[in-house]
Each structure stands twice: as C-alpha cells, then as structure tokens.
Amino acid sequence: MENHKQQQDHITPYSTMLKVLVGLLFLTFVTITVTGLHLGAFTVAVALIIACVKGGIVITWFMHLKNETPIFRYMVFGVLLLYTLIIVITFFDYAFR
C-alpha cells in the first residue's frame, strides 16, 4: 500500500550529518578568528559571507532541501530573491533621500 508509506524515502546517513556539523563548527572558528583580526570593512564582509555559507549548509543538509522535490528549491530561491530586493530598495532609499 503506497499510501501508508512516508513520502520521502531518502535516508541521510549519520556520518553525513556529523561531517556537516564538523564543517559548521570549523566555519564558526574561522569567523571568530577573522573578526578578531580587526580588518575594518573587510571583517564585516567576511563574517557575512561565512554566515551565508553556514546558512546554506544548514538549509541543504540539516533541513534536507537536497532531497526535496524541486519546487522547494524554487520557493527558497524566490524568498531569498524577495529579501535581497527588500535590502537593495531600502538602501537605495536610505542612500539617496
């Protein structure tokens, strides 16, 4: 009976999740080290880029976006696009008023 089965058969191994965790902890360590160097505007850029990478890793593996049907990916992309537009438009308004 197909109906009684969970509609997602893919099983992510424990080892994958542990590797992802080690990667995330490593990136946290890198962020703390880099921000401790006081490199001015560069620090902000690096910290934000690493945060985005970590966010991407969490969404892809921990939240299983990798194994979802493509529609989930389009939705996430749409929301990120919307938020980017909100940031850009707000800063244009702020910078040129």
Nearer to another protein (CB atom), residue 4 or residue 96: 4
The 10 Å Cβ neighbour count of residue 96 is 6
Q: Which of 37, 74, 81, 83 binds another protein (CB under 8 A)?
A: 83
CA-closest candidate to residue 80, choices 61, 64, 65: 65
* CB 54, CB 27: distance < 8 Å: yes
Examine residue 86 and tell whether it contacts another protein (CB under 8 A): yes
Q: Is 60 in the site for another protein (CB under 8 A)?
A: no
Closest by CA to 8, choosing from 58, 77, 63, 76, is 63
Q: Which residues bind another protein (CB under 8 A)?
A: 3-8, 11-14, 17-18, 20-21, 24-25, 28, 31-32, 35, 43-44, 47-48, 50-51, 54-55, 58-59, 61-64, 68-69, 71-72, 75-76, 79, 82-83, 86-87, 90-91, 94
